[in-house]
Amino acid sequence: MSGSGGGTSFAVQVPKGYRVGCWEVREPLASGAFGSVYAARRRGSPGADAPSDLPESAALKFLPTGTRTPRQLRHLEDLAHRELELHRRLRRPRLIRMYEALTVDDPGNPGLDGATVLVLERAECSLDALLAASGECPLPDGPALLAQICEGLAQLHGAGWVHGDLKPGNVLLMPGGSGGRVPSRGDSLSAGGGGGDGGGGLRGTGAGERSVRLGDFNLAAELEGTHAYAPAFSTPDYTPPELLWSDIGERGQQIRTTADIWAFGVVAHLVLAGTLPMPGATVAARRDATVRYARGAEDLRLSPELPDGWREIIGDCLARTHQERAAHTSDDLLRRIGKLAGTGRSPRLPRRLVRGPRRGGRRPRSLVLAVAATATAAVAGAGYGLGVLGDGGGSNGDGASEKATSATYGREVLRTDAGVPTAYRKLIIEAAHACTQAEVTPPLIAALLKAESNFDPDLSDPGKDEYGIARWTPRVLKYYLPPSQVPETGDPKPPFPPEVSIPAVGRYLCVIAPRLDADLKGNREVLVAAAYRTSFRKVNEAGGVPAAYRDYAARVERHLEQYTPRTPAQ
C-alpha cells in the first residue's frame, strides 16, 4: 500500500478510496515528520458526535501510529470542541477549522490501525505561495490581507491563545464556490470581493469569495495569565528577540501574545515591501541583526516602500522589547488598520489580488500563472503543520524504485560511501533541512549519532537515563517532540525509535545553535555537537568545547569530515 506522489515517502500511507468515519480518502496533499495529509470527500452519514455542518470536502491529517497518541484523543477532542465553540461565537472567523478528531479502527491493517485523524478545512492557497511568486515585489492588495490576518490574531488572543508560529505559510486563503478545489496550472487568479463575512479575496475561475484563515496550531499555547508555555522551536525570521535567547523551563518556553505581534510586523513588512525587515542575506545574519537591534546597537531600518500609515504600525509591532509591544494589542492594531482603510472593521479584499498596472507597469502574465502554479504546490502542507509535498531532493520521481535509490538519497549533502546506514539517511537529511541554522547540517547530525550510539537504535543506558540512537533523556526529549507525540502526563517512555529520535535532534540543534556565542573558538558544527552533549551555557562559559568533552568533540569532528561530501558524486 502506498500513496501516490511520485516517490515521496509518506509518514502514514493511505490508499485512495480508504474510508475513515464518513470520509473517503482521495489524492495525497502533503507529508512530513508529523504526519500526512490527504484530500477527502464526505460519503454517507456523519457519526452521532460529528458536527451538523460538515462540508462536502476536507483535508484529513493522519498522525502516525508510532506517535503514541492512538486511542488517546482526549486532548485533541478538547481542542476540536474549543475550536467549534470559538467559531460559533465569531461573526467572521479567521481561524482554520478542525471539524472532528477520529481514530482508525482497522485491526487487519497494522499500518493504520489506531492512527489519529484530524478533519480540517481545506485551503486553496497560502500567502507563502503568493509571496514566492511575486519575489521581492510587494503584494498590491496587501493591506486588506493584513487586516484579515490581524483579525484572526485578535480572535485567537481574545480566546486566550497565542499562535506561536505566525508566518506566511500558516496564512491560508479559503475557497468559495469552487468546492475546495486547489487551482491548477491553467487557472487564473482574478476578481473577488464582497461578502457577508467581511472578507472577499482570492478568486479562481468560476469560484466564489475567498477569505483569510490562520492555520497550523501545532505550537499554539493557552495563556495562563500573561504567559503561555510552548515547545522551544519556531521560525527564526518571525521569532521576537527575547525568544532567541530565552531559557527553557520544565514546561517549555514562556511565550506571550507579543510574540505574535512581532511576527505580524515581519509578515506585514514582507507583504507591503517585498522584503524582510531585518538586513542580511541568510537566516543567521538576520538573526544576528535582530539581536543587535534588540540590544540597542542598531536602529530599525524599515523599507521606504511601505505605504503611508503602515510604517508606524510595523515599527510598533517590531519594538525592541515585549513590554513595548504589549502596549499594541492585536485589537488595537486592528482598529488602526481599519482607520487606514476608512472603516472601523477589517476591510474586504479588493476585487483583484493579482493585477496590474502597478508602479507604472503591468504585472506580467507569467507571474499570474506562476502564482497559480506555485499555489498548487505550496498549499499542500500550508497551515497543516507539514512541509510541502516533494521528493526532498533525493527521489527520481519513480515510486517503484524508491527503495533501490534510498542508498544514494541526498548524496550531494551526505556521503554514500562512509558508513551512514541507509535506513537513516532520509531522516538525517530531513532533520537537518528542517532547520535554517547554517551549522545544522546532515553530516553534523550523522556524526553526532555515530558518536552518541554508533547508530544503535536500541541503545539503552538506564544508569544515565539515555535511550535510543541519539541517547535521549526522556525529560529533555519531550520538549523537542511535536505536540502529537507528547504524552498527556509525564515523560515519554522508551524505546525511542529513530523516526522519533532523529527529527528531535534536528529541532534541538536548531534551538541551541543560535544560543552559542558568536566569538567562540573552533568549528561551529563541532561546538553545536558539544552543546548537545552538555549544554550551550557550558560551551559559552568555557569559550569553546569544555575540557571534559574534548574527546567527544574530536570524535564528532572526525566523523564530520568522514561524512561531508568532497564531490557532488559522492
- Whose CA is closest to 261, among 241, 289, 284? 241
Do both 331 and 208 map to the same domain?
yes
Residue 97 to residues 42, 91, 158, 214, Cα–Cα distance (Å): 16, 14, 17, 9
Would residue 433 count as lying in a domain?
yes
| Residue 214 backbone phi and psi in degrees, to 5 | -90, 140
Write the CB contacts of 36 (distance below 8 Å, at least 6 apart in sequence).
Answer: 3, 10, 11, 12, 13, 14, 28, 30, 61, 62, 386
Q: Is residue 115's pLDDT more than 50? A: yes
Would residue 290 count as lying in a domain?
yes
Residue 54: which CATH number?
A: 3.30.200.20
Q: Which of 57, 92, 120 is the last residue of a domain?
A: 120
Residue 112 is placed in which grid cell?
493504520
- Local structure of 129: helix, strand or coil: helix
Do both 92 and 23 map to the same domain?
yes
Residue 521 is placed in which grid cell?
573558538
Do both 332 and 188 map to the same domain?
yes
- Local structure of 238: helix, strand or coil: helix
Do both 102 and 140 map to the same domain?
no
Would residue 568 count as lying in a domain?
no
Do both 337 and 467 map to the same domain?
no
Q: Where are the beta strands (DSSP E) in 287-418?
A: none
pLDDT single digits (tens) 254-301: 889 999 999 999 999 999 999 999 999 888 788 889 989 998 999 999
Do both 149 and 195 map to the same domain?
yes
Would residue 396 count as lying in a domain?
no
Q: What is the mean pLDDT of residues 466-471?
A: 95
What pLDDT does 151 receive? 93
How far is residue 398's CA from residue 405's CA, in Å, rounded to a whole number?
A: 10
Weakest mean pLDDT among 53-62, 83-92, 426-435: 83-92
Q: What is the DSSP string of 6-70?
A: TTPPPSS---TT-EETTEEEEEEEEEETTEEEEEEEE-SPPPTTS-TT--SEEEEEEEPGGGS-T
How far is residue 476's CA from residue 473's CA, in Å, rounded to a whole number?
A: 5
Q: Is residue 76's pLDDT more than 60? A: no
Write the CB contacts of 304 (distance below 8 Å, at least 6 apart in sequence).
Answer: none
pLDDT band at 341 (very low <50, low <70, confident <90, very high): low
Q: Which of 120, 149, 181 is the last residue of a domain?
A: 120
Do both 489 and 344 map to the same domain?
no
Q: Which of 88, 120, 152 is the last residue of a domain?
A: 120
Do both 105 and 132 map to the same domain?
no
The amino acid occupying position 42 is: R
Residue 87 is placed in which grid cell?
467559531
Q: Is residue 116's pLDDT more than 50? A: yes
Do both 130 and 115 map to the same domain?
no
Write the CB contacts of 78 (distance below 8 Å, at least 6 apart in sequence).
Answer: none
Higher pLDDT residue, 397 or 515?
Answer: 515
Would residue 105 count as lying in a domain?
yes
What pLDDT does 568 receive? 46
Domain ranges, residue 35 = 19-120
Would residue 108 count as lying in a domain?
yes
Do both 193 and 269 map to the same domain?
yes
Number of separate domains in the chain:
3
- Local structure of 475: helix, strand or coil: helix
pLDDT single digits (tens) 5-58: 334 456 678 999 999 999 999 998 876 655 788 999 999 777 777 777 788 999
Alpha helices in 379-441 (DSSP H): 402-405, 422-433
pLDDT single digits (tens) 386-406: 544 433 333 333 333 333 345
Q: Is residue 126's pLDDT more than 90? A: no
| Dihedral angle, C-alpha 558, 562, 567, 570, nearest 10 ° | -170
Residue 226 to residues 229, 257, 262, 328, 494, Cα–Cα distance (Å): 11, 8, 16, 14, 35
The separation between the first and the last C-alpha atoms of the chain, rounded to the nearest angstrom, is: 32
What pLDDT does 36 receive? 82
Bridge partners (DSSP) listed for residue 531: none
Do both 225 and 360 map to the same domain?
yes
Q: Please answer whether residues 25 and 5 qualify as being in contact, where contact means their C-beta atoms are separated by less than 8 angstroms.
A: no
Would residue 1 count as lying in a domain?
no
Q: Please answer whether residues 543 and 520 qualify as being in contact, where contact means their C-beta atoms are separated by less than 8 angstroms.
A: yes
What pLDDT does 175 receive? 67
pLDDT single digits (tens) 238-254: 999 988 876 666 677 78
The amino acid occupying position 374 is: T
What pLDDT does 85 receive? 59
Do both 81 and 161 map to the same domain?
no
Would residue 82 count as lying in a domain?
yes
- Does the pTM exceed 0.75? no
How do 203-204 and 189-190 pair as beta strands? antiparallel
- Cis peptide before 46, with omega less than 30 degrees from 0? no
Q: Please answer whether residues 255 and 243 qualify as being in contact, where contact means their C-beta atoms are separated by less than 8 angstroms.
A: yes
What pLDDT does 388 receive? 40
Residue 438: which CATH number?
A: 1.10.530.10
What pLDDT does 406 receive? 54
Residue 203: which CATH number?
A: 1.10.510.10
